[in-house]
Amino acid sequence: MKQEQASSTAKVIAASTVLLAHDPQTAALVAPGAERLCAAFLSVSATDRLLCASARHRAVRPLWRALEQMTHPGITRHYWHRKSWIEERCRLAIAEGVRRVVVLGAGFDTLALRLAPTFPALTWVEVDHPATQGQKQRGLANCEIAMPANLRFVSADLGKDSQWVHHIGTNSQPTLVIAEGLLMYLSPDRVQSLLRDELPSLAPGGLRTIFSYMVRWPAGRGGFRPASRLVEAWLRRQHEPFTWMMAPAAAPQWLSEMNHELVEHRQPPYRDPGLSPAVPAGLQGENLIEAVRVRHEAG
User: pLDDT digits over 93-106, tens only?
Assistant: 999 999 999 999 99
Q: Which domain holds residue 171?
A: 78-293
Query: Helix, strand, or coil here: 208?
Result: strand
Q: Is the peptide bond before 226 cis (omega within 30 degrees of 0)?
A: yes
Express as a percent the part of the chain with pLDDT over 70.
Answer: 92
| Residue 211: inside a domain | yes
- Rounded-to-integer distance, Cα 125 and Cα 208, Å: 15
- Rounded-to-integer distance, Cα 239 and Cα 295, Å: 37
Alpha carbons within 13 angstroms on the beta-carbon side of residue 197 total: 10
| Residue 239: inside a domain | yes
Question: In this structure, is the dihedral angle defined by the CA atoms of residues 119, 122, 123 and 129, taken in order, positive or negative?
Answer: negative
| Residue 35: inside a domain | no
| Residue 226: inside a domain | yes
- Rounded-to-integer distance, Cα 61 and Cα 58, Å: 5
| Residue 208: inside a domain | yes
| Residue 60: inside a domain | no
Residue 275: per-residue pLDDT: 44
User: pLDDT digits over 135-146, tens only?
Assistant: 999 999 999 999
Predicted confidence (pLDDT) at residue 92 exceeds the cutoff of 50: yes
User: What CATH number has the domain bearing residue 96?
Assistant: 3.40.50.150
| Residue 24: inside a domain | no
Predicted confidence (pLDDT) at residue 147 exceeds the cutoff of 50: yes
Compute CA 43 distance to the chain's CA centroid, rounded to the nearest angstrom: 21
Q: Is the pTM of this model over 0.95?
A: no
Count: domains in the chain: 1
Residue type, 60: V
| Residue 83: inside a domain | yes
Residue 205: per-residue pLDDT: 83
What does each C-alpha distance from 252 to 50, 140, 260 come to in angstroms?
44, 40, 9
pLDDT-derived band at 224 (thresholds 50, 70, 90) equals: confident
